[in-house]
Structure 1
């Protein structure tokens, strides 16, 4: 994804960086530490490799994550958050907190327990 010529405000640009179903989830997972492509595929239910690679490329292009390749066979690659990625993760944590509150208000305690958000 490339920057557009015009933006209404800086928030619109940030939205372009994080929009989509998978990017916030990818950032959340990488907030736990460096991960390989296969780890991300395992941990993110429902994403296919093609979509994951596309989303990772866009996050790389915006400097939100970085990719480290290791020599040898088989090829090993790890993804991690940059400083900018850590800043975005703070916003995602706040959004997740709101989601937890809404799920509690709607009696979705089983889901929250199953996913380890509450005891």
Structure 2
């Protein structure tokens, strides 16, 4: 993860926080509360554990996500959205709505139905 020294506007900082294929999806998956690494891996189709860990670490760096380490064996860690992450989630939900609208407009509701995502008909 490369961190720029200078930005032309604050939006560039946010772009750096969430750029990549998986970060917005990770934020969305944490919308209902904390999840373990295994839960996130199961819930995000196509992501590898290595990529998930990399993106979680980057989101932690930016203060969007944090983790709780529980004592005992086996090791148990849960990730959750910070206050900044909760703000980011609001934007991600809007992005989700835009994606749903697009799919509906283009007659691609089979995908939404297969995922159990509700939409206006």
Q: Which category describes the TM-score, using the shorter chain as reference length?
A: over 0.9
Q: Deviations over 1:1-54 (max 9, x none)?
A: 353111110000100000110000000001121100000000000000000000
Which residue of structure 1 lines up, in the alignment, with residue 116 of structure 2? 116
Give the whole-Å Cα distance in 2 for the aligned partners of 1:34 and 1:20.
Answer: 21
What residue is the counterpart of 1:49 in the other structure? 49
Alignment TM-score, normalising by the size of structure 1? 0.96
Map of 2:80 onto structure 1? 80
| CA pair 97-103 structure 1, distance change in 2 beyond 3 A | same
Query: What residue number does 2:66 align with?
Result: 66
Q: Is there any run of 5+ residues in structure 2 with no aligned partner, and where? A: none
For the residues of structure 2 that align with 1:92 and 1:118, how far apart are their CA atoms?
16
- Give the total of aligned pairs: 119
Normalised to the residue count of structure 2, the TM-score between the two structures is: 0.95
In 2, the alpha carbon distance for the partners of 1:3 and 1:13 equals 9
Give structure 1 stretches of 5+ with no counterpart. none
SS in 1 for 2:3: coil
Give how far 1:114 is off: 1.2
